[in-house]
Amino acid sequence: MTTQRTSVAALGPTRPTLAQAIAEGPLLLDGAMGSLLYERGVLHTRSYDELNLSQPELIRTVHADYVAAGAELIETNTFGSNRIALSKHGLADSAAAINRAAVELARSAAVNRAYVAGAVGPTGVRFGIASATERKTARFALAEQIDTLVLAGVDAIMLETFGSILEIEVAIEVAKQRGPRVPVIAMMMFDAHGLAEGGLGSNEVADRLIAAGADVIGANCGIGPAELYQVTVGMVGRGKPVIAQPNAGLPASVEGRTLYVANPEHFGVFARRMLKSGVRLVGGCCGTTPDHTRAMLGAVRMLRGENIDERAERAPGAGVSIKTTRAHEPAAAAKVPLSDRSRLGARLTRGDFVVSVELTSPPGSDLTKTKQQVADLLAGGVDIVNIADGPRASARMANIAACARLTVETTVETILHVCARDRSFLGLVAHLLGAQALGMRNLVIITGDPPKMGDYPFSTPVYDVDSVGLLRIAAGLNAGIDPAGKECEPTSFLLATGAEPAAHDRDRELRRLEEKKLAGAELIMTQPVYDPRTLERFLDDCKPLGLPVMVGILPLASHRNAEFLHNEVPGMAIPSEYRERMAKVGGGPAARAEGIRIAQEALGAVKQRVAGAYVMPPFNRVDSALEVLEVARDRMKPI
């Protein structure tokens, strides 16, 4: 089973090394220095590196702002601090002093809350056409800068924004010679087509960086998060951790000033996508600010599975120790047997095949249409529905209100999604107690996607806990123990959790399921699965956990819908044969019918191995859900 994770940036001398923190990951980096200084009034004509000497408080403040925003690894203000780059400003002889001052400033801002990487940029020598003498001069300049940074005590050497694979290979070699025990992080630039200089793809660049000796590989600058996602995900799985530091989109000229206009919320979304795809370190480059860092923090916390005790350790004064969230202790036993908590619990206990259909709350306060959909489901033999919590960041009736009214006004039983994204720790506890009081007995506990670009892009995610922490809170309440460890009236929730059978990092997904069971999960509800082989493998892997599995089924609506789910949604994988089938029918009624047939095939292939299924019909089309479930009628008992 899992063990308690060491705090990434714990105060004091016992904190893990940077290499250990990267291995445990994920890790959050800072954002831009140069473009931020420009926005704070420093002209491009200045040497930004020299500001380490002439305006140290300005540089220290930028570092401190990033640390306050949650950055756990910050870079020194030394991108152009090699003597060749500095010579353009007549500062070649100040190279050592500038680099030493930069490390001191970063360290003073980090105050043991963040690691410090020595930033090293290209020399400006065009290695592809440079003479042997020019290359030798560049090598000396890189060695001089790296020497100074290592001796000043950086935790890593950060080679960034290199355009030439030849130059970065030399820089890696030099860094490994000058600081053999200091990790080397190497990042190349790529164009909008995902190619580096010379037409090199991300996989070829990754292999060459590893061969040169880099400890972490990746890409930064040049392109925005969407484009860099494709590049860095292509580097995952080749033997070394991967880092991504995109620009805040492409630059634009606004009233004579160069600005980057990507919304920080956009960064939070792509940070989660990158991390779930296997990237270990995320941060920002040109145009990013502490706001972008703060937007990515929730994704890092969520993917790291960080618990409250660890965060309190990192931030003195952040609060009391929360006894119900200790990851190394099993959840206390519930007071009410599973069979007595709900209709769903009783059916699972008997071994019945259980089914549910997912509905979304109405966009207003009128439940008339939803109640008709429920009536149609009841007539079709389905008496359990699950209601999502704020899907697609749209303004909808609170799902707890919809569930409460459906419970009272119909005979349907509900499964309430509870998302950690939007509520503080105290708010989550209140929400759970309110659900108990309103008659909710079935919960699916999820961390929740960061709010996406939509009508309310300013909405801020909270993530005081993730799904594991929230499961522990709910399991504690079931045992009659509140989050402070005091006895309370026990709740009687059935606790379900989510899983991604097609997750890119399969080992991590299985570890998370172990943690979730330890935290109190009693039922697994999977993301939609289309490939029976993927689900079969997942069922084999999680069988030792002994938890029943309800397989998620999402009928495809069109070829465009299939391509979007396959390419844009982490954890979703649609076999090419199915996408080709959807391509042949395109859209409209024919596509809907084909999507239902594919969903039926997926469910029919595994119905004997799972405890049940829940169908997520597009646009609340309950008739589609009932059609899909026809293939499982032989396992469903009449209601």
**Is residue 320 within a helix (H) or strand (E), and if so which, with residue range?**
none
Distance in angstroms (rounded) separating the CA atoms of residues 250 and 4: 41
What is the residue extent of each domain of the chain?
A: 23-304, 323-555+611-632
Per CATH, which fold does 323-555+611-632 belong to?
Answer: TIM Barrel (3.20.20)
Bridge partner list, 498: 525
Domains 23-304 and 323-555+611-632 share a fold: yes
Residue 447 CB burial class (10 angstroms; 0-12, 13-18, ≥19): buried
**Is residue 241 within a helix (H) or strand (E), and if so which, with residue range?**
none
pLDDT of residue 458: 58
Helices (H) and strands (E) in the chain, counts: 24, 18
pLDDT of residue 459: 65
- pLDDT under 70: residue ranges of the chain: 1-14, 249-263, 265, 305-328, 391-394, 449-461, 568, 570-571
Sole residue written with tokens 């040109």: 286
pLDDT of residue 251: 47
Distance in angstroms (rounded) separating the CA atoms of residues 381 and 605: 21
pLDDT of residue 249: 62
Q: Which CB contacts under 8 angstroms, 24+ apart, belong to 299-303? A: 299/268, 299/271, 299/272, 299/275, 299/450, 300/26, 300/27, 300/28, 300/70, 300/271, 300/275, 301/463, 301/466, 302/272, 302/420, 302/447, 302/463, 302/466, 303/26, 303/272, 303/275, 303/276
Distance in angstroms (rounded) separating the CA atoms of residues 453 and 474: 30
pTM above 0.85, yes or no: no
Distance in angstroms (rounded) separating the CA atoms of residues 470 and 493: 13
Query: What CATH number is given for 23-304 in this structure?
Result: 3.20.20.330
3-state secondary structure string across 105-116: HHHHHHCCCCEE
* Cβ-proximal residues to 378 (8 Å cutoff; 6+ apart), any chain: 410, 411, 412, 639
Chain length of the chain? 639
pLDDT of residue 195: 95
Q: What is the DSSP letter of 162?
A: E
Distance in angstroms (rounded) separating the CA atoms of residues 602 and 597: 9
Distance in angstroms (rounded) separating the CA atoms of residues 58 and 19: 30
Q: Decide: helix, strand or coil at residue 180.
A: coil
Instruction: Pick the closest to residue 217 from 171, 184, 169, 181 (CA basis).
Output: 184
Please, what is the Cα angle at 408 between 627 and 397, to 5 degrees? 75
* Cβ-proximal residues to 184 (8 Å cutoff; 6+ apart), any chain: 156, 157, 159, 172, 175, 176, 213, 214, 215, 216
Q: What is the dihedral of CA 504, 507, 510, 515, to 10 degrees?
A: -120
Distance in angstroms (rounded) separating the CA atoms of residues 149 and 128: 27
Q: Decide: helix, strand or coil at residue 141.
A: helix
Give phi and psi for 49, each to the nearest 5.
-70, -35
Instruction: Pick the closest to residue 525 from 554, 490, 558, 550 (CA basis).
Output: 550
pLDDT of residue 484: 87
Token output for 466: 């993730």
b/e sequence 300-328, b meaning 16+ C-beta within 10 Å: bbbbbbbbbbbbbbbeeeeeeebbbbbbe
Bridge partner list, 384: 413
Amino acid at 138: A
Token output for 168: 């970065």
Distance in angstroms (rounded) separating the CA atoms of residues 121 and 157: 11
b/e sequence 124-145, b meaning 16+ C-beta within 10 Å: ebbbeebeeeebebbbebbbbb
Please, what is the Cα angle at 291 between 116 and 11, to 5 degrees? 35
pLDDT of residue 145: 97
